[in-house]
Amino acid sequence: MAITLDHLRRHAVARTLFKPKTLARAIDRLGFVQADPIRAPARAQDLTLRHRVAGYRAGDLERLYPKLPIEEDYFVNYGFLPRAHHALMHPRTPRAVWTPAQWNQAHAVLDFIAERGTAHPREVDAHFSHGKVTNWFGGSSNASTQLLDAMHYRGMLRVAYREGGTRVYAPRIADAKPISTDTANARMDALIDLIVGKYAPLPAPSLAQLVRFLGGGVPQWEAQRAAALTRAKQRLGQARVDGIDWYWPSGEHPAAARWKPDDAVRLLTPFDPVVWDRRRFEILWGWTYRFEAYTPAPNRKLGYYALPLLWRDRVIGWGNLSVRDGALASGFGYIDERAPRDAAFRAGLDAELARMRHFLALED
């Protein structure tokens, strides 16, 4: 059967909006959950997981994180991933080379944290008085915070838990074994399969872009990314649809009857797998979604943190939600300028807002 854009659209929705599971199993199925600190009305990781975890409430990931076999780290962007996937990226060799003085400083901090078991950045700063440095956007940050971030990225530390949203660190035992070329290739292949498993079906330019982003997770293998992309295109499922090459995990077929989205109405975070790839979004749904949290208010068209509104296999508009005086406030916009008149849509939207109130633990 020839694959069409309708097949790809249904495949994109149905494969990621699977039947709700436990938190650990949902994260394992997703492979990676992107994190973002903005709460509108909740953080992106919570808004992603609420569709995929039975009974999920905002903050459950942070609360349960210390008990789960997952890690916080940078992958193609920052977020949470199973330990088995996390191990594929380490030991990581950053592009920036530390001086002997920086290494001495890092080892002193590591010894301090190892002695305590865990440490909050303010405890490290109080003990070492590292001072202030200029951060990446031109402001001022504690030098201890930047050092801890760099140690975490290098695999010297892991995030043990969060306290009021701040990362509390513990030592991490790194895999010190040398990585052969063959092993590096196998790891690169596994990481690319993880990317495809999360974001498929992917148009060819998006697949290439995500492999470039993977350079942030495994900078030590930057020179091998082009060959890894070539291998991926040879083993993945693929088809050319309307002049664009598309890729998905081998063994899946987008035209199969199993890929049937349900009738639910859902409000998705801007970082949800359905939405994240803006190129794919525009191809599949025929309009441009923009994340406008950092756009000056007068220039916003959708809203500060517009949540794409999915009904069945179509993204038909967006919603802006907030909590005011303990109640959920909402406003919506539609691509066709008005809401569907279908009673099933109205009932579905009411049900979605009720789920959102439960997720946020708000009074009815």
Residue 178, pLDDT above cutoff 80: no
Is the residue at 150 inside a domain? yes
Residue 227, pLDDT above cutoff 50: yes
d(CA 217, CA 297): 33
pLDDT (0 to 100) of residue 131: 58
Residue 180, pLDDT above cutoff 70: no
Is the residue at 116 inside a domain? yes
% pLDDT > 90, the chain: 89
Angle at 227 between CA 82 and CA 72, to 5 degrees: 20
User: In this predicted model, which residue has the larger pLDDT, 178 or 229?
Assistant: 229
Domain ranges, residue 148: 100-171
pLDDT (0 to 100) of residue 181: 60
Q: What is the average per-residue pLDDT within 76-88? A: 95
CA 29 to chain centre: 13
Q: How many domains are there within the chain?
A: 1
Q: What is the average per-residue pLDDT within 215-237? A: 95
Is the residue at 106 inside a domain? yes
Each residue's pLDDT tens digit, 16-43: 999 999 999 999 999 999 999 999 999 9
pLDDT (0 to 100) of residue 135: 47
Decide: helix, strand or coil at residue 270. Answer: coil
Q: Give the lowest-confidence range in 70-74, 168-172, 359-363.
A: 359-363
Q: What is the DSSP letter of 212?
A: H
Q: What is the average per-residue pLDDT within 78-83? A: 96
pLDDT (0 to 100) of residue 364: 52
Q: Give the lowest-confidence range in 51-55, 134-138, 170-174, 322-326.
A: 134-138
pLDDT band (50, 70, 90) for residue 143: confident
Residue 207, pLDDT above cutoff 60: yes
Residue 51, pLDDT above cutoff 80: yes
Decide: helix, strand or coil at residue 185. Answer: helix
Mean pLDDT of the chain: 93
- Check residue 325 and give left, alpha or beta (phi > 0: left; psi -120 to 50: alpha): left
d(CA 343, CA 19): 24
pLDDT (0 to 100) of residue 140: 40
d(CA 163, CA 172): 19
Is the residue at 211 inside a domain? no
Q: Residues 198, 30: contact at Cβ < 8 Å? A: yes
pLDDT (0 to 100) of residue 362: 94
pLDDT (0 to 100) of residue 138: 47
pLDDT band (50, 70, 90) for residue 306: very high
Is the residue at 157 inside a domain? yes
Look up residue 358 and give its two tokens: 């439960």
Is the residue at 240 inside a domain? no
Q: What is the pTM of this model?
A: 0.93
pLDDT band (50, 70, 90) for residue 184: confident
What is the number of other CB atoms lying within 10 angstroms of the CB of residue 262? Answer: 12
- Check residue 307 and give left, alpha or beta (phi > 0: left; psi -120 to 50: alpha): beta
Q: What is the DSSP letter of 336?
A: T
Here the CATH number for the domain that contains residue 108 is 1.10.10.10
Is the residue at 141 inside a domain? yes
Q: Helix crossing, 181-199 with 225-235: angle to 10°?
A: 60
Is the residue at 155 inside a domain? yes
Helix intervals (H) in the chain: 5-16, 23-30, 44-49, 60-64, 83-86, 100-116, 121-128, 143-154, 181-199, 204-213, 225-235, 278-285, 343-359
